[in-house]
Amino acid sequence: MGNKDLYRHDVIVVGGGLAGLRAAVEACDRGADTAVLSKVYPLRSHSVAAQGGINAALGNSPAAKDDNWEKHAFDTIKGSVYLADQDAVEILCREAPGAVFELEHWGTVFSRDDHGRLAQRPFGGADVPRTCYAADRTGHNLLNTLFEQAASRGIRFYNEFFVTSLVVDEETCRGCIALDILSGNLHGFSSKSLVLATGGYGMIYDHSTNSLINTADGMALAYSAGAKLKDMEFVQFHPTTLSGSNILISEGARGEGAYLVNSEGDRFMAKYAPQAEELAPRDIVARSIMKEIQAGLGFDGGCVHLDLRHLGAEKIRERLPGIRQIAMDFADLDPVEQPIPVQPGQHYSMGGIDVSPDGETGIRGLFAVGECACISVHGANRLGGNSLLDTLVFGRRVGDKAFNESHDEAAPVVEAALNREIKRLDELFSSRGESFASLMREMKKTMFESFGIFRDENNMQEGLGSLNELGKKFEGAAVNSARKIFCQSLVRTLELGFMLDIAGAVALSALWRKESRGSHYRTDWPDRDDDRYLKHTLISKTDGQKPAIEYSPVKLGLFPVKEDGY
Amino acid sequence: MIIRIHRGKGGKYDDFDIEAAEGMTVLDLLFYIQENVDPSLAFRYSCRGAACGSCAVLANGLPVLACKTPLSKLTKPAENGQVFLPVSAEIPGGGILLEPAPYLPVIRDLVVDWEPFFEKYRKLEPVLKAGGETPEKEYIVGHDESREMEKYTNCILCALCWSACPIVAGVEGYPGPAALAKLFRFYLDPRESGDIDRLSIADNESGWWACDFYTNCKKVCPKGVPPNVAIGRARKLLKDKEEGK
Ligand SMILES: Cc1cc2nc3c(=O)[nH]c(=O)nc-3n(C[C@H](O)[C@H](O)[C@H](O)COP(=O)(O)OP(=O)(O)OC[C@H]3O[C@@H](n4cnc5c(N)ncnc54)[C@H](O)[C@@H]3O)c2cc1C
Ligand code: SF4
Ligand code: FES
């Protein structure tokens, strides 16, 4: 399967999305010999699909004149249902304007207001219009800019390299092993520090808005290497995804004034969130839609309608061209003339690798940032527009830290690990048996049904049982392809292994938390319980095998914990 | 329905007899085959929402994004303005022929090597070269200026226009429609330093002037980008300059 080429770099970043590229640019600017490994060409990373925008308290909108970082922080913490660490939120919100201006200076073509400044739109859970945007293709524009910056700096890119394992020795990360997908060869990478920026795990669920490559890889790599995962039970479901294909219809649509309507023609959000209505936080809107559907007030196919028509053709064409295009391409309708059928779908992973605000994982030389990490700034529920911000603000900080805290290389250790990995994959490669596809389908279904928008003990226990069964079956899973070059069935089998590991972590964490908070909603424990559960869930493989759960306190200090509604 | 797919590095095709489901896209179909019939099939994907530019293929001679193209579109009679490219095998009657996008080396099955496309893109130094002092906040940029740039920043670098362009096929060293559109986007950017002459970079026989305005680029672009307009405008600007206008 492999050859013995060993690559060396000071800083290795795994992931070519926004978080990875921002970290790489910083490490490179500080003087590190920096490399980015990405399983897809960086511009194909999931970040490219982000639509609605990025938050920063610039106060550009007339309705937000006295906006400031404290207000942004308050909205973020309230949205997180007080589970976010307030020291980290302070960093996020204080550094937000600088992070957005930096991308603007580097070339991002943001949408403008009448004064030529960055335009800002309202977004769910925010008090005032605070979300900067590039039409509804914000991620695409930011990612192109960062890629342009990274490529012009001489950062070394290993595109379509799939990291299969980390090399950890003496509690220090020494590098990683990666499969060159195009050639089918395995390579060792020796580094002084390694940053995981591998994004989310949407593919463990049926009905996800995520790119099909979001398969939990980095979280599983860190988990297996002994790092802790934090708050894994918090899974964001986006209220408005295109019925069927679950392609996202951005919150930007509701920000611009779109209505949610049931089959009786009622704007039902007024019932559930009298003040915020359509712009209540995502978890509330998602549950409200599900309740309407369950009450028989949905449309065929289990959906409600998102109605843009009253906004008028001009506004729709100008402000929401991407959404209009998506509706035309993937639902064969024009939202200027017809409402869009929408249903909730898995969208974002609030939980992730437990890290400090500088991305430290507890394993020396191993850092994590972006959606695969949990700092935590999103707590029980992320606000729209805060996760692109998270990737930039903390990407920079973690790139800096990875440069400063580098460790000695240990090339022989990496080489030995490479030999073991060659053997492991050779065996997997030549195996014949049940393929990944049926196991994957079963996992997705189990996760959506048992660990979805509404949860309860019985259902979750049953789901956990199914996951354990699937884990056993996976041991006999086979690649069933004799072609080494671009062997997707090998990659997808390895991805399934990662996903099953992480699905298990989500399941155990969700069972542990016997309360409802933000996105984690238990019908058997419908109330929030600060006395017992105002704390982070941590899960790790203590003896390298069986996962164990512990908890850690939430860092408060800026704002007192309150009961509040929307 | 017979689905004929290019396999290996060249010349070989496999037929699959598939019961296509209502509303299935080309990408859905490829996944169906990989997951249920032949796990060794190779193709690229990521976003499945026409945003990432991974999945360009040639389907019944049409250069398309697999994720955005319903099978029904391929078996319907040709529409006005569609660009059909030469195919290398027979299209099965009532069925679908899938081939890798042309003018890029084939790696395997439907996967091509993007390097020639991106090499040309990199050569034009696609990165903002801002001039003067960096403002404390954002640069001030007008609505109209930013909207004009947007036409070109919408490009997802999927390389469909490259595959559909007869000049790419015929003129050695031609950067291709997407790279030229990108160059023009930086020319338009009011934040760029006045010292940089972006247009002159491609002011030669194999650059702006190689285009013959087939406009295949615009016709096949899944994001409505008009590289032909960028090229036309660049040429006019260069001509005006030469004539001292
Ligand atoms: C449809 C959609 C719209 C969104 N819109 C918004 C929005 O408007 N505003 C907002 O703030 N947030 C939004 N989000 C969330 C936001 O887009 C993501 O959280 C963010 O882009 C994640 O960035 P990242 O850099 O952490 O990861 P990603 O962009 O997912 O990048 C992960 C990278 O890791 C690489 N990788 C993964 N595994 C491996 C491996 N094993 N080996 C090598 N490389 C690997 C991948 O190739 C990729 O380059 C949206 C999310 C979705 C699903
Ligand atoms: S201009 Fe259009 S067709 Fe060409 S690469 Fe860009 S998005 Fe693709
Ligand atoms: S899969 Fe992203 S464009 Fe088709």
Cα B92 versus chain centre, distance: 26
Label residue A438 exposed, middle or buried (CB < 10 Å: 0-12, 13-18, 19+): middle
- Ligand 2: lining residues by beta carbon, under 6 Å: B 155-161, 177-178, 181, 217, 220-221, 223, 225, 227
> What does the longest C-alpha to C-alpha distance in chain B come to?
65
- Written as one letter, the residue type at B8 is G
Can you give the pLDDT at residue A477? 86
Residue A478 reports pLDDT greater than 90 = no
Residue A10 lies in a domain: no
B115-242, CATH topology level: Fumarate Reductase Iron-sulfur Protein; Chain B, domain 2 (1.10.1060)
> What's the average model confidence in pLDDT over A479-491?
89
Q: Which domain does A495 fall in, by range? A: 420-536
Residue A153 reports pLDDT greater than 70 = yes
> What's the average model confidence in pLDDT over A231-260?
93
Can you give the pLDDT at residue B113? 97
Token digits for B49? 């929402």
Can you give the pLDDT at residue B11? 82
Looking at every residue in chain B, the average pLDDT score rounds to 95
Instruction: For A19, list phi and psi in degrees, rounded to 5.
Output: -65, -45
> What's the average model confidence in pLDDT over A27-43?
98
CB atoms closer than 10 angstroms to residue B218: 19
Residue A149 reports pLDDT greater than 70 = yes
Q: How far apart are CA A2 and CA A121, in angstroms?
A: 51
> What's the average model confidence in pLDDT over A425-445?
89
Q: What is the dihedral of CA B25, B27, B30, B32, to 10 degrees?
A: -60
Residue A181 lies in a domain: no
- Are A333 and A340 in contact by the 8 Å Cβ rule? The answer is yes
Interchain CB distance below 8 Å, A110 and B128:
no
Q: How far apart are CA B26 and CA B13, in angstroms?
A: 17
Cα B37 versus chain centre, distance: 30
Looking at every residue in chain A, the average pLDDT score rounds to 94
* Closest CA of chain B from A213, distance in Å: 6
In sequence order, what are the residues at sequence separation of 6 or more whose Cβ sits closer than 8 angstroms to the Cβ of residue A427?
Answer: none
Number of domains chain A is built from: 2
Q: How far apart are CA B85 and CA A369, in angstroms?
A: 44
Strand partners, A176: A166, A189
> What's the average model confidence in pLDDT over A425-441?
87
- B53: Cβ below 6 Å to ligand 3? yes
Angle, CA of A396, A15 and A27, to the nearest 5°: 35
In sequence order, what are the residues at sequence separation of 6 or more whose Cβ sits closer than 8 angstroms to the Cβ of residue A128?
Answer: A61, A63, A64, A67, A71, A122
Nearest to A437 among B35, B45, B139 (CB): B35
**Chain A residues touching residue B122 (CB < 8 angstroms):** 151
Among B28, B30, B44, B54, name the best residue to mutate to test ligand 3's pocket (greatest count of ligand atoms within 8 A of Cβ). Answer: B54
Can you give the pLDDT at residue B16? 97
B2-112, CATH topology level: Ubiquitin-like (UB roll) (3.10.20)
Of A246-255, A399-408, B226-235, minimum mean pLDDT range: A246-255
| pTM assigned to the model | 0.96
Residue A565 reports pLDDT greater than 80 = no
Q: How far apart are CA B54 and CA A159, in angstroms?
A: 13
Q: Using pLDDT thresholds of 50, 70 and 90, give the confidence band for residue A479.
A: confident
Residue A349 lies in a domain: no
Q: What is the dihedral of CA B4, B5, B7, B12, to 10 degrees?
A: 30
Residue B56 reports pLDDT greater than 60 = yes
Q: So where are chain B's domains?
A: 2-112, 115-242
Look up the ipTM and state it. Answer: 0.97
Q: Measured in Å, how far apart are chain B's first and last C-alpha atoms?
A: 60
Share of chain B above pLDDT 70, in %: 100
Nearest to B150 among A48, A135, A479 (CB): A135
Q: How far apart are CA B176 and CA B230, in angstroms?
A: 12
Which of A344, A369, A391 is the last residue in one of the domains? A344
- B222: Cβ below 6 Å to ligand 3? no
Interchain CB distance below 8 Å, A487 and B40:
yes
Residue A132 lies in a domain: no
Residue A502 lies in a domain: yes
* Residues of A known to be catalytic: 282
Residue A541 reports pLDDT greater than 60 = yes
Residue A289 lies in a domain: yes
- Are A107 and A89 in contact by the 8 Å Cβ rule? The answer is no
> What's the average model confidence in pLDDT over B26-46?
96
Residue A36 lies in a domain: no
- Are A236 and A283 in contact by the 8 Å Cβ rule? The answer is yes
Can you give the pLDDT at residue A103? 98
Can you give the pLDDT at residue B181? 98
Which of A344, A374, A390 is the last residue in one of the domains? A344
Residue A3 reports pLDDT greater than 60 = no
- Are A432 and A478 in contact by the 8 Å Cβ rule? The answer is yes
Share of chain B above pLDDT 90, in %: 88
- Are A241 and A282 in contact by the 8 Å Cβ rule? The answer is no
- What's the CATH code of the domain at A526? 1.20.58.100
Of A106-110, A288-292, B129-133, B181-185, minimum mean pLDDT range: B129-133
Nearest to B42 among A105, A212, A486 (CB): A486
